[in-house]
Every structure is written in structure tokens, then in C-alpha cells.
């Protein structure tokens, strides 16, 4: 194996362990009077993690006052209040339930004009750089090996940008959009380069449906056909898996 893997009995236990790790990092930064820069993901995989972070806030007093977060991606175009918006997802699952300051979370803006996108993406990366980079990046993985919306073919040094979604990605998303014809064709995603520059990366994958792509990413060659395989070249990346997702390793 070319990427460290940690396998849990189930995704609930795994999500709790990752939440503990994030809590420890936030608190370590608090003691140093520093912000904790988190890269956050959407999709079904991090839902249990966010639920556990909310619980740690409500029941154990974990504060997010020093957290500054940058989400990986957003569909384009997308209204922030729409049911499928990643802004809404993050607010409903995490931001509205913890004490993170509204000015401290960032989700790519799905309402930009085409002309604004390039400058916006440049600024998104500049903000991350000004803070010294991402301390911990949470990732899910698409069935085709995409990370964020860095689809197959994305380069290892790719920047934050507007991308065309793969057909297979749109098919997977189409159930949320009541059909393929309503499913966005494009998205804004953090580039692979900023993901690779994160000091630590934790990728979450659950279920047997992810077993093949996990195996390819962890054990097969590094290739831009499977962007998650780039993580083999990261010095502090781990795949946190349930038994089913690890079954082909
Ligand atoms: C979407 C997201 C990705 C996510 C992937 C997998 O494409 N943009 O960031 O990793 O879906 O989703 P899930 O976690 O639901 O399997």
C-alpha cells in the first residue's frame, strides 16, 4: 500500500475517531492562539463526521471560534439557498450548529458571472495562502476517483477553477436533482495543488461501492485518470475506511 489506511468496523466509529482528531487539532491551535485552517468536503461521506463535531460542540464544549474553513467545491451555477447547494449543506450539517464565525467559513460561490470566476478562484487560493495553507483537508472520493470536483484528467498542479462534471458524476448526483436534465454540468473546485499542499489529508470512504476505487487509488499507479492516486505522493495522507471500502486492499 502506498497510502496509509485505517480501517474501522463501521463508518460511525470511523467518523467519531476523525472528529476526535479534528477536535484535538482545533484545541492545539487554540492553545497557541492560532487559527485552525480546515478544508471541508460535502457528499454523504462526511455527514457522520459533521454530526459528531456538532455533538462535541454541544455536549463537550468544543469551540470553533478559531476555525477558518474552505470548502472544496460547489456546483455552478447554484443558488446558495437551493436544496442542493453545498452552502446549504454545510450550514445545515455543521455551520449553523457550532460557533464558527460566519465570516470564517468559505464555500465557492455558485452565483458568479462567468467573467468573475477566474479572479474569484485566484482570490480563494490567495486567502488560503495568506493563512499559511490548509492544516487539515477532509476529502471524500467519487466513484471515478475524483477529489473535490477534480475529475479524471485533472492535473496534479491544477488550480481552483470551473470544471465540467463527468457524465458518471452527474448520474450519481442526478437523484438529488430529480433527473439528469436538471443536474448541473459544471462546478467550481479547489484545484489538486492546494489539496496536495494541505499539511494533512484525511480521505473518508464507506461501503463496498467504493472498494474498487479505493484499491486503485491506494495500490495502483499514480495517474491523473484517478486524481485520488495523487495522494500517494502526499507525506501525511490517510484513507479512513470501513470494512467494506477496504475489502479489495
Ligand atoms: C461529490 C463531491 C465530492 C465527494 C463525492 C463523493 O462529487 N463533490 O467532494 O467526495 O461526491 O460523494 P459521497 O461522499 O456521497 O460518496
Alpha-carbon 179 to chain mean position: 24
Residues with CB under 6 A from ligand 1: 41-45, 72-73, 140-142, 148-149, 169
Q: Which atom of ligand 1 is nearest to the CA of 140?
A: 10
- Dihedral, 187, 192, 194, 197 alpha carbons, nearest 10: 160
| Cβ-based neighbours of 105, under 8 Å, separated by 6 or more | 68, 69, 71, 90, 95
Q: Is residue 70 part of a domain?
A: yes
Q: Is residue 76 part of a domain?
A: yes
Alpha helices in the chain (DSSP H): 11-31, 47-60, 86-93, 114-130, 167-174, 192-197, 211-219
Q: Complex ipTM, two decimals? A: 0.92
Report the nearest-CA residue for atom 5 of ligand 1.
Answer: 142
- Residue 88 has phi, psi (to 5 degrees) of -65, -45
Q: Is residue 248 part of a domain?
A: no
Total domains present in the chain:
1
Distance 239 CA to ligand 1 centre (A): 15
> DSSP secondary-structure letter at 85?
-
Distance 55 CA to ligand 1 centre (A): 23
Q: Is residue 106 part of a domain?
A: yes
Ligand 1 pocket test: which of 18, 43, 186, 212 has the largest number of ligand atoms within 8 Å of its C-beta?
A: 43
Q: Which atom of ligand 1 is nearest to the CA of 42?
A: 9
Catalytic: which of 52, 74, 125, 151?
Answer: 151
Distance 228 CA to ligand 1 centre (A): 12
pLDDT at position 194: 98
Report the distance separating Cα 143 and Cα 15, nearest Å: 20
Q: Is residue 249 part of a domain?
A: no
Contact indicator for 196, 237 with CB cutoff of 8 Å: no
Q: Which atom of ligand 1 is nearest to the CA of 149?
A: 8
Report the distance separating Cα 207 and Cα 205, nearest Å: 7
Report the nearest-CA residue for atom 1 of ligand 1.
Answer: 43
Q: Is residue 228 part of a domain?
A: yes
DSSP 97-119: GS---GGGEE---TT--HHHHHH
Active site residue 151: yes
Ligand 1 pocket test: which of 74, 87, 146, 150 has the largest number of ligand atoms within 8 Å of its C-beta?
A: 146
C-alpha cell at 230: 495523487
Q: Is residue 114 part of a domain?
A: yes
Q: What does the pLDDT profile of the chain (249 residues) look like in tens digits?
A: 799 999 999 999 999 999 999 999 999 999 999 999 999 999 999 999 999 999 999 999 999 999 999 999 999 999 999 999 999 999 999 999 999 999 999 999 999 999 999 999 999 999 999 999 999 999 999 999 999 999 999 999 999 999 999 999 999 999 999 999 999 999 999 999 999 999 999 999 999 999 999 999 999 999 999 999 999 999 999 999 999 999 999
Q: Is residue 78 part of a domain?
A: yes
Cell 449553523: give the residue.
96
pLDDT at position 1: 74
Give me the domain span that covers residue 185.
Answer: 4-242
Q: Helix, strand, or coil here: 132? A: coil
Distance 104 CA to ligand 1 centre (A): 23
Indicate which CATH number applies to the domain containing 46.
Answer: 3.40.50.1360
Distance 46 CA to ligand 1 centre (A): 9
Amino acid at each position: 500500500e502506498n497510502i496509509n489506511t485505517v480501517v474501522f468496523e463501521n463508518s460511525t466509529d470511523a467518523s467519531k475517531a476523525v472528529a476526535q482528531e479534528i477536535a484535538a487539532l482545533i484545541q492545539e491551535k487554540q492553545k497557541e492562539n492560532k487559527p485552525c485552517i480546515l478544508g471541508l468536503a460535502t457528499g454523504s461521506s462526511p455527514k457522520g463526521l459533521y454530526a459528531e463535531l456538532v455533538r462535541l460542540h454541544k455536549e463537550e464544549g468544543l469551540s470553533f471560534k478559531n476555525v477558518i474553513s474552505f470548502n472544496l467545491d460547489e456546483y455552478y451555477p447554484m443558488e446558495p439557498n437551493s436544496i442542493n447547494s453545498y452552502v446549504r449543506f454545510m450550514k445545515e450539517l455543521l455551520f449553523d450548529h457550532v460557533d464558527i464565525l460566519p465570516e470564517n467559513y468559505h464555500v465557492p460561490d455558485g452565483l458568479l458571472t462567468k467573467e468573475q470566476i477566474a479572479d474569484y478562484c485566484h482570490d480563494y487560493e490567495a486567502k488560503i495562502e495568506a493563512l499559511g495553507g490548509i492544516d487539515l483537508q477532509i476529502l471524500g472520493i467519487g466513484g471515478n476517483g475524483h477529489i473535490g470536483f477534480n475529475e479524471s484528467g485533472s492535473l496534479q498542479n491544477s488550480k481552483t477553477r470551473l470544471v465540467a462534471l463527468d457524465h458518471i458524476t452527474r448520474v450519481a448526483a442526478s437523484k438529488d436533482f430529480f433527473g439528469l436534465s436538471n443536474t448541473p454540468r459544471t462546478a467550481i473546485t479547489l484545484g489538486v495543488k492546494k489539496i496536495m499542499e494541505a499539511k494533512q489529508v484525511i480521505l473518508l470512504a464507506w461501503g463496498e461501492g467504493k472498494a474498487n476505487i479505493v484499491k486503485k487509488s491506494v495500490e495502483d499507479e499514480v495517474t491523473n485518470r484517478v486524481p485520488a492516486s495523487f495522494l500517494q505522493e502526499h507525506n501525511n495522507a490517510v484513507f479512513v475506511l470501513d470494512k467494506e471500502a477496504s475489502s479489495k486492499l
